[in-house]
A and B are shown apart, each in its own frame.
Chain A
Amino acid sequence: MLSKMLLGRYIPGTSLVHRIDPRAKIIAVLLFMIIVFFANHWTGYLLLILFVLSLTKLAGLSLIFLFNGLKLILLLIIFTFMMHLFFTKGGTVLVDAGWFTIETEGIIRGVYITIRLAMLILITTLLTLTTSPLSLTDAIERICRPLKALRVPVHEIAMMMSISLRFIPTLMDETEKIIKAQSARGSTFMTGSLRARLNALTPIFIPLFISAFKRAEEMAVAMEVRGYHGEKGRTSYRVLDWQFKDTAVIIMMVLFGIVLFMIRQ
């Protein structure tokens, strides 16, 4: 179940979508979030769908794969659709059961909102699926650099993000080990009442926290003796290389937005 979850996962690859500069991808997704709201007519929505589908194809990912990975999110989408179905009024009445009615406007609104939501989710998933967390962090740091003028500690936040990402697998392994160790001692957090299960979790979280703090302390010492003293005078090993294709991506996105705006009704 969890292994199939796609939210926030990265699937390495070499497709064009993979190779676009992460900054360009983030900016494009942000633009798309605005553009989605330009559509107010079925042609607009159709274009949105076609656009996202062709991107998926370009990234070398299959729709079925995406669909399977986003099942949980699907519930949310269905819920939104239902809300509109039952509560948006207008147009002709299709079903009248006394205590509730379904009207055409409700269906149309529901479908449109569903498309918007689905396309937004798909495109952000595409972003994380085709960009390594590391590049994402890098890109966010570069994009947010102007915020430094407002005294936002951009570098420090990016450093924290990248170290946290780096520690996720380590802590996962550790959690598993602790769970096994506690099970071997007869701890049963898979059965019993909710309360009993929560109680059984304490002996898992406490050792986990203690070890996380110890790791953090050792990591801080290791960073310090390796000469880390913040951003000042620091150079960067990883470089992002903005090319023509990255500018092209942004231009395309803007053009797409203009087209959608023109066909508004």
Chain B
Amino acid sequence: MIEFNDVTYSYREEDHNALDHISLKFRRGEWTSVIGHNGSGKSTLVKLLMGVLEGYTGEIRIDGEVLTEENLQDIRRRFAIVFQNPDNQFVGATVEDDVAFGLENNGVERDEMVRKVEEALRAVNMLEFRTHEPSRLSGGQKQRVAIAGALAMEPDLLILDEATSMLDPQGRRDVLEILGQIHKDKMTTIIYITHDLAEIGVSDHAVVMKDGSVINEGTVDEIYHDTEALISSRLVLPFTIWMADRLLEGCYMLYDELVERL
């Protein structure tokens, strides 16, 4: 379980808080979605958790233990993250090299590495591309490689920071399907960050962020029903929710009236 207790952070060159007194819980084995508009502080949240940014107030606890400089390397070994831009996180020269990168950093023996790389690539259906260079892959394929790189580390927690936002619909579907499979098979805890409300359907729990604060939290149903919070979150609402909200205002209306409202 991961706990943020009253965490506040601001970038040095900014005058407002990127995160403003955030308190949050991510439960083990659950798929938690974090939704919020651009600049609402979602990436900052994970960067604090992964120890990329320092100098925040409040505390972050992992399984009850406060996150510190000392246990950071250990945390990084247990948590894996996939970022938004498929190109800027592809470190290796080929698919298999990239999947092996994290294992190499952790000094895993070569025989074991070969086995783990193969297993991870199979899990994301990329085994046949193992010797390909990134320039020959689609965005969706690169993100699947990034997920394989994360899986090879056998993480307790998998974080996806808008990992599908630069993909075409097909690539997005593939990635979501693979994640669902991993979540089901390995009970991996997932933090799924997105600005697309349509993508939170599968999650056990969802958090809505706005301007560095959490404005709503609950099951997907609860989130979808609290239209007021959704509208104030400045997110693009799925058409159905927007429609339902409009329709609820009056109990019935004439056809012309409906057209006019839409």
Q: Which residues of A contact B (CB under 8 A)?
A: 133-134, 162-163, 165-166, 169-170, 214-215, 218-219, 221-229, 233-239
Contacts and interface: CB of A to CB of B under 8 A. Distances in A.
Contacts of A219: 88-89, 91
Given A226-B102, A235-B113, A221 B85 contact: no
Interface of B: 47, 50, 52, 73, 76-77, 79-81, 83, 85, 87-94, 96-97, 100-110, 113-114, 117, 133-135, 149
A166 B134 contact: yes
A166 B86 CA distance: 13
Contact of B106 (A163, A166, A218, A227): A227
Contacts of B83: 218, 221-222
A237 B88 contact: no
Given A227-B76, A237-B113, A222 B89 contact: yes
B258 to A, nearest CB: 41
21 contacts: A133-B93, A134-B93, A162-B93, A165-B93, A166-B90, A166-B92, A166-B133, A169-B134, A169-B135, A170-B135, A219-B89, A221-B52, A222-B91, A225-B52, A225-B79, A226-B80, A226-B149, A227-B76, A235-B103, A235-B104, A239-B110
B91 A163 contact: yes
Contacts of A238: 97
A227 to B, nearest CB: 4
Nearest to B52: A221
Nearest to B112: A235
Contact of A215 (B52, B87, B101, B104): B87
B52 A224 contact: yes
Q: Chain A interface secondary structure, helix, strand, loop or mixed?
A: helix
A133 B104 CA distance: 20
A221 B113 CA distance: 23
A224 B88 CA distance: 13
Nearest to B77: A227
Given A169-B134, A214-B88, A218-B83, 19 more contacts: A134-B93, A163-B91, A170-B135, A218-B88, A219-B91, A222-B88, A222-B89, A223-B91, A225-B52, A226-B76, A226-B91, A226-B149, A227-B76, A228-B91, A229-B73, A235-B103, A236-B104, A237-B97, A238-B97
B52 A227 contact: no
A174 to B, nearest CB: 9
Nearest to A166: B93
B89 to A, nearest CB: 4
A133 B50 CA distance: 33
Nearest to B146: A222
B105 A237 contact: no
Nearest to A211: B88
A259 to B, nearest CB: 39
B94 to A, nearest CB: 7
A95 B80 CA distance: 76
B76 to A, nearest CB: 5
B39 to A, nearest CB: 16
Contact of A237 (B79, B80, B96): B96
Nearest to B134: A166
Contacts of B149: 226
Nearest to B96: A237
A124 to B, nearest CB: 22
A234 B97 CA distance: 14
Nearest to B105: A227
Nearest to B106: A227
A224 B53 CA distance: 11
Contacts of B89: 218-219, 222
A183 to B, nearest CB: 23
Contacts of A166: 90-93, 133-134
Contacts of B73: 227, 229
A135 to B, nearest CB: 10
Nearest to B159: A225
Nearest to B91: A223
A225 B101 CA distance: 11
Contacts of B105: 226-229, 234
Given A166-B90, A215-B87, A218-B89, A235 B81 contact: no
B88 A235 contact: no
Max chain B C-beta neighbours (<10 A), residue from A133, A224, A235, A238: A235
Contacts of B113: 235, 237
Nearest to A218: B88
A238 B117 CA distance: 12
Contacts of B106: 227, 233
A237 B104 contact: yes
Contacts of A134: 93-94, 97
